[in-house]
């Protein structure tokens, strides 16, 4: 159900954004959709919706646990199977998107630092290398990412996932490069 819910949520958010921002470019719409359906946001929304009370398991650190976002996706997938696309879309827009997403600031939020960094180096015709590797940190899996531009190390970042580490390393590189 989680897989199905993920696909349905992407579809609903994409069509909602397309209708709400008809003049936006494809890249901007993609970025906005990504900001809405990213794991951390789904985790936060699921906690705000108090979905944990429907789970049989006790989940520590609710807002930092992907299980809540997965639960939300499974909920959406189940709703789609039971009620169909139209009712699911109406529910997702009225109960998930509108109460939890600020339509005014959404178009200007861009937190994909890795993408921004790639755009910057392409424009400047620089060579970018982003290297990420697993590390052990306090008995937990973590990742360290390093940004190299023209074979010179610019920055690094450590995160719970490879993606988090790459984003932090890219954000740090953007600060250093004053972009």
User: Annotated catalytic sites, by residue?
Assistant: 6, 73
Name the strand (E) or helix (H) holding 133.
strand 128-137
C-alpha separations of 121 from 11, 26, 149 in Å: 32, 21, 8
CB of 143 closer than 8 Å to CB of 134: yes
CB of 165 closer than 8 Å to CB of 158: yes
DSSP state string for 47-98: HHTTGGGG-SS--SSGGG-HHHHHHHHHHHHHHHHHH-HHHHHHHIIIIIIH
**Total length of the chain:** 179
Q: Which residues pair with 144 in a beta bridge?
A: 133, 158
Sheet hosting strand 128-137, strand order edge to edge:
128-137, 140-149, 152-159
């Amino acid at each position: 159900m989680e897989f199905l819910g993920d696909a349905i949520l992407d579809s609903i958010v994409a069509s909602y954004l397309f209708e709400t921002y008809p003049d936006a470019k494809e890249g901007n719409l993609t970025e906005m959709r990504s900001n809405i359906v990213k794991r951390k946001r789904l985790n936060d929304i699921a906690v705000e919706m108090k979905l944990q009370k429907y789970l049989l398991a006790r989940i520590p650190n609710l807002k930092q646990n992907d299980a809540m976002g997965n639960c939300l996706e499974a909920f959406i997938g189940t709703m789609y199977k039971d009620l169909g696309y139209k009712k699911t879309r109406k529910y997702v827009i009225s109960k998930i998107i509108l109460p939890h997403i600020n339509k005014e600031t959404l178009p200007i939020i861009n937190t994909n630092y890795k993408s921004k960094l790639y755009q910057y180096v392409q424009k400047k015709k620089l060579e970018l290398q982003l290297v990420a590797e697993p590390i052990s940190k306090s008995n937990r899996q973590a990742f360290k990412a390093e940004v190299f531009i023209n074979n010179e190390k610019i920055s690094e970042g450590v995160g719970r996932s490879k993606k988090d580490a790459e984003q932090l390393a890219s954000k740090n590189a953007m600060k250093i490069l004053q972009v």
